[in-house]
Each structure stands twice: as structure tokens, then as C-alpha cells.
Amino acid sequence: MERLLLRNVDKENSHTIEVYIKGGGYQALKKALKEMSPEDIIEEVKESGLRGRGGAGFPTGLKWEFAAADVKEPKFFVCNADEGEPCTFKDRVIIEKDPHALIEGMLIGAYATGCRYGYIYLRGEYPIGRKILERAIAEAYEKGFLGENILGTEFSFDLYVHSGAGAYICGEETALIDSLEGRRGEPRIKPPFPVNAGYLWQPTVVNNVETLANIPLIIERGGKWYSQIGSPDCPGPKLYAVSGKVKRPGVYELPMGTPLREIIYEHAGGIVGDRKLKAVFPGGASSCVLTPEEIDVPMDFPSLAKAGTMLGSGAVMVLDETDCIVKAALRLIEFFRHESCGKCVPCREGTDWLVRIVRRIEEGQGTEDDLDVILSVSETMENSFCGLGMAAHNPVASTVKKFREEFLKHIKLGRCPFRSGQ
Ligand code: NAI
Ligand code: SF4
């Protein structure tokens, strides 16, 4: 497949405005501002079928339509660049290697929705990205793509970078907005959705980095063209971040809906040492595990939901036969316990209980009853206040269900069967 999202990343100095413009950059913005009305743009994005790439897969055109319909002013356009889930690193490639694609996507989105000010909420642990984005924004101001009366039109837009301080929960859009307002980031109740009451309770569009990098392509080549790439229900190119026991870990751009088996065995080169595949988390740390028999699934939102898991941000984590599934589940739930904001009981207590129980099993001190307690705690966590708690139990509950024998082996042996020297 022709590289679309990653078309610029291998060019020397791909992060500079000169290289971006030379490759056709900012032509989509010119077309949008000079030849298209905000309504035309929203229609084009709706026709493309683009769904948000942050994890939830909400239709982008619809989100923009809701924001455009709200008459309160000023409106804000926020890029969620706080990718913080373990093994999720696809947005980083765009931020560091093609920042102008992101800025151009934001500009087009802001024009379509009537937003005057924009923020890129950047993961605190991406200091290189911050420097690159700040430089790119300065370049865009210099060339007249940001600021007052952009390209001689009535459209004005100012853009700022705001670094997070390391809290994973600030990737949840309402916690992100709290943090942007200078407060401790905690999720807010939804509805109202940010499109109507977001930053400073004003209409606010929040889009993921990869989502926005698609926008110049859609405006340049048309929504119809875009809708023919990948899965019909969920089209477009997709960045998959593959990590773990594969020969060639990395970020792969492939059509949405590429089978998971193809991603692991063709693009990522198969399993290290040609060992056997044991398990895959197909959509990041909060997705449900898949077994080797389940990897023919197309990697898109509806197919993975049907398979009982989720695409999330498209982070594929691969485990081989030498990995301990109990230890993997423990590591993931430890992350969520650390990152739980503590606002609601099911998540605050549930993640702590799960860590204690899974650790006990991993250390050989567990009982068979512990497995039922894990599933019961997980069920309670479904009632958490936000997506973090609702999904944090997935890696644990799904491994208990699909790899029960391995949990039982730890319990019966009184130790981890994978620990060397035992
Ligand atoms: P959500 O389904 O509540 O919302 C998705 C988006 O659509 C939001 O922007 C929301 O404001 C908007 N939306 C939904 N219904 C709407 C309506 N009726 N009107 C207007 N706007 C509406 O999902 P959420 O909680 O925002 O995101 C959860 C996802 O985030 C998970 O699926 C997970 O995969 C992903 N995630 C991604 C991470 C990353 O590092 N990229 C980390 C953790 C989770
Ligand atoms: Fe905070 Fe977890 Fe509750 Fe979300 S689910 S509000 S992260 S405690």
C-alpha cells in the first residue's frame, strides 16, 4: 500500500516546514480556506468515514458537526497528544517526524468547526516532541499559516503546546481539559460532551494526533477516495505499533482491517527465535487478550469488538511461549493501579485488589478461589466512572478466562513455572 500517513517520515529534515511544503504540504489548507466552506469540509470528512484513532473510534465528521452547530464562542480545538498507554507509540512518529501534518489537520478542523484557539496537549514524557512542535508552530506563524487572517481570509487561529505532567489519566479527554485549565486532571461526567462544554466549559473539539494527520489527505484527495481504503465500515490507513516478542517491532502503516496474523508474521517478521506465539493484546494494555487461534481477526474497531476485545489505539503486544501470562497480567494491572486517579471506588479499590491477588498467584501463594474473586472484582469495575477503570481489568479477567490452566499451574506448583532455576 502507498504510504499515506507516513509519507514524509523518511525524508531528511521531515519535521521542517520547507520539506513539508516541498512535498505538497499546506495545499489542503489552501484548498479548504479558499475553495471550501466549513460545511463542505465536514461533509467531506463524514464521507471519508474517518473514525477517531485515539481508541474509541467515534466518527470524526459527526464530532465536528456537533461542535460546528454550537454557537457559543470562543470555541477551542485540542489535539490529544498524551499517548500514555504501555506499548503505544504511534502518535510519537507523527509528532516528531511530521508535525506539520498534525498542525495542518488542526487548522482545517478549526476552520470547519469555528474554533479560534488551539492546544496540543502533549505527553510530558515527550520532551523532544515538544521542541519539534514548538519549532513547527513558530515556522507556521512565520509563513502565515497561523495567527490573524490566515492566507488573507477571515479565519484566525492561535496554537499552543501544553505539556502534561506524567499522569496517564490526562489522556482521558475531560481529565485532559481539567489539566489544561490548570487543575488536577480528573474525568468529568459525560454528557455534556466536550463539543458542547469542554475547555472553560466552552465548545471544544478533542481529536487524537493520528486522526488529525488524516485530514489533509482527505481534503486533498476527497472523502470518497479515502473511504475505499481498508475496511468498508471503518476505512482509512491505520498506524499499528507492534511490540513484544516479534523480530521487527515498530510502527506499521497498513489499511484498517489488516489481519492481525499478517501484522505479526509478515510485517513484524514473526516471533523472535521462531518460537511459538502464546498470546496477543491487540489494542493496548487495556484490551482483552487473544490466543494464537484468534489472530485471523481483521484489525478494525467492529471486528475486534465482535471478537470480544478492542482496537484501542492499535498497540499490538505480542507474547511468546516463554512468557508468563500471569506476570504479564500483573505488570499491566500494576500500571493501572498506579495511574488510577482515585476518584471512584470500583477503579481505586478494584485495581488494588487485582494487583494484590494476581501478585499472590504469581508468587505461588494463590488459591483457586482467587480466580473467582478476580472475575467478580472485574465485573464490579465495569461500573467505574471512566474508561480507565472500565477497561483496566480486561488484561487480567481475559487472561484468567483464556489461560486458566496457567494460573492454576502457579497455584498448584506454588511458584511461577517460568522462573528460571526452578
Ligand atoms: P467515548 O466513547 O466516551 O468518546 C469518544 C469520543 O467521542 C470522545 O471525544 C467523546 O467526546 C466523543 N463522543 C462520544 N459520544 C458523543 C456524543 N454523543 N456527542 C458528542 N461527542 C461524543 O470514549 P473515551 O472514553 O473518550 O475514549 C476511550 C478510548 O480511549 C478507549 O477505547 C481506549 O482504547 C482509548 N485509550 C487510548 C489511549 C492512548 O494512549 N491513545 C490510552 C487509553 C485509552
Ligand atoms: Fe479515576 Fe479510575 Fe474512576 Fe476513572 S475509573 S475516575 S481513573 S478512579
Hey, where are the domains in the chain?
A: 17-228, 234-320, 326-413
**What's the CA gap between 33 and 35, in Å, rounded?**
6
| Protein residue whose Cα sits closest to atom 11 of ligand 1 | 193
234-320, what's its fold? Ubiquitin-like (UB roll) (3.10.20)
Of the listed ligands, the closest to the CA of 285 is: 1
**Which CATH architecture group holds 17-228?**
3-Layer(aba) Sandwich (3.40)
Q: For position 422, what pLDDT does the model report?
A: 46
Vertex 130: Cα angle to 211 and 314 (nearest 5): 35
Atom of ligand 2 nearest to the CA of 339: 7
Three-state SS at 375: helix
C-alpha cell at 350: 478494584
Ligand 1 pocket, 164 CB below 6 A? no
DSSP string computed for 211-244: HHHHHHHHHHH-HHHHHTSEETTEESEEEEEEEE
Q: Considering all CA atoms of the chain, what is the largest pairwise distance in Å, rounded to the nearest integer?
A: 74
Ligand 2 geometric centre to CA of 348 (Å): 7
CATH number of 326-413: 1.20.1440.230
Q: Name the CA dihedral angle for 104, 107, 112, 118, rounded to a multiple of 10 degrees.
A: 140
Cell of 201: 466549559
Secondary structure letter of residue 139 according to DSSP: H
Which ligand is closest to the CA of 172, given by its number?
1
Give the global pTM: 0.97
Q: 56 CA to middle of ligand 1, Å? A: 4
Positions of the chain with pLDDT under 70: 420-422
Answer for the pair 396, 333: CB distance below 8 angstroms, yes or no: yes
Q: Ligand 1 pocket check: which of 65, 92, 193 to mutate, most ligand atoms within 8 Å of Cβ?
A: 193
- 230-267 pLDDT, tens digit each: 999 899 999 999 999 999 999 999 999 999 999 999 99
What's the pLDDT score for residue 420?
61
**Per-residue three-class SS string for 265-282:** HHHCCCEHHHCCEEEEEC
Looking at residue 419, its pLDDT comes to: 75
Determine the Cα–Cα distance for residues 416 and 422; give it in Å rounded to an integer.
8
Bridge partners (DSSP) of residue 162 are 121
Contact (Cβ atoms closer than 8 angstroms) between residue 284 and residue 87: yes
Beta strand 315-320 with 277-281: parallel, antiparallel or unpaired? antiparallel
CA of 226 to the centre of ligand 1 (A): 22
Determine the atom of ligand 1 nearest the C-alpha atom of 91.
41
Q: Which of 317, 311, 336 is nearest to 388 (CA)?
A: 336
